[in-house]
Amino acid sequence: MILEILDLLKTPDFWAKTSISSLEILKNWWWVILPFIFIQPFLYLYLYFIRDRWTSKIKFILLEIKIPKEVLKPIKAMEQVFAGFHAIHDIFSFREKWLEGKCQLAISLEIVSFGGEVHFYVRAPEVFRNIIESNIYSQYAEAEISEVDDYTKYVPQDIPNKDWDLFGFDMKNPRPSPYPIKTYSKFELEREIKEEKRIDPLAGLLEGMATLKPGEQLWLQIIAKPIRDEIPWIKEGEKIVEELMGRAAPPSLEPFPQYAIKGTTRVLIAGEPLEEAKKEPEKIEFGALRLSPGELEIIKGIQEKISKFGFDCNVRYFYLGKKGVFFKPKARIPFGFFKEISTENMNGLKPWTKTMPKIQWILRKRRTYLRKRRLFKYYIKRWPPLFPRKGGTYILNTAELATLYHFPGRIVAPAPAVPRIEAKKGEAPPGLPTE
């Protein structure tokens, strides 16, 4: 039978007929492969369309938080606020995702300076307002939260133009998300209750924001979307820890029948007593003793990070102003803040040059203009850097978000820079007449 098949393959007529039949099949059935080629682009465009239709019906609001005169709580209180914000995470059914277009919505945490006056904002869907207010009031009972107009509407929408200019960046994590940035716990001791004994990572940024003049503005934005199992960042962190620890996978055990047959063969045929079977020398693992102090610190940092709630985030900022007062070196004010929360052996935030087109000398001005227009548009729309495509974001947990966005005390932030509530509110006396 085999010889007959080989002889058939050697005949030239066989290959000629085969090629003709293959061409006929390709000619008549070429369209069958099209669904496999276009299925992924089709699903992407379909999801984008139905999600855009669904989100266009959602009302977004901007909440301004006016902080109390004195903030004596540690920054850990803000971490508890963000843990409460994680409750906006939702799980959608097949119908909700693929037919109605529902998706996880994000909030935007914003610190803005208008001519040296610093404001704290949270932009979110209106349905999340109760969650945001209740969690902030639970830790900062004397704060005031009010709905305000979007400040981005009060500047020309075609910046840069002949009167206004801007400069800024999207920020990125240089290392994988499980590596943590430097958090507030490295700056302060939680047992230090007195405000004057704390070191606040926001102090330098707020001090720089307070130096802006009328006509200058600096906007810092943190887009945060709560996640659970959508992105396997916890497994990625566990894998990094295992690699650093040098853990080997446990040896696979042989199935019981195979083990029994081998043991019987050694006894009956080879005459080798079962108790004298060769044993592998016992290995002694030193584990963490073989790691350097820096590696131990990295392992501890990763394990602490993946133990807390995570948010899929993007950080961006820019400095803008009128041409008469625009001074580009002031755009570097946030750099000191980003340097403070970054470490060489773990993670941090650095400008993401991928969002900046490669500037060629012929089209330099045009490319720079388009990059600025794109950055400005994405900020006011609160879009991630690669929208509508995925990517460009990274995971920050509640402690890292609290480091980047929290309410400072009066000693930390200059008094004229941050508007505060000077009068303390209290409940009315119980016997006060109502008529």
Neighbour tally for 290: CB within 10 Å:
10
Q: Per DSSP, what are the bridge partners of residue 111? A: 120, 220
Query: Which has the higher per-residue pLDDT, 125 or 90?
Result: 125
Count of residues making up the chain: 435
| Pair 323, 163: CB distance under 8 Å | yes
Judge whether residue 190 has pLDDT over 50: no
pLDDT at 141: 87
State which H helix or E strand residue 337 sits in: helix 333-340
pLDDT at 371: 87
The chain-wide mean pLDDT, for the chain, equals 80
Residue 142 CB burial class (10 angstroms; 0-12, 13-18, ≥19): middle
Q: Where are the alpha helices (DSSP H) in 140-270?
A: 203-209, 233-245, 256-268
| Pair 330, 216: CB distance under 8 Å | yes
**pLDDT level of residue 34 (50, 70, 90 thresholds):** confident
pLDDT at 359: 46
pLDDT tens track for 35-74: 777 788 888 888 888 988 999 899 999 999 998 777 777 8
Strands 420-421 and 60-68: parallel
Judge whether residue 142 has pLDDT over 60: yes
Sorted by sequence, the CB contacts under 8 Å of residue 71 that are 6+ apart come out as 140, 195, 407, 408, 409, 410
**pLDDT level of residue 368 (50, 70, 90 thresholds):** confident
- What predicted TM-score, i.e. pTM, was given to this entire model? 0.79
pLDDT tens track for 218-271: 999 999 999 986 668 888 888 888 888 875 445 444 454 555 556 555 655 555
| Pair 382, 106: CB distance under 8 Å | yes
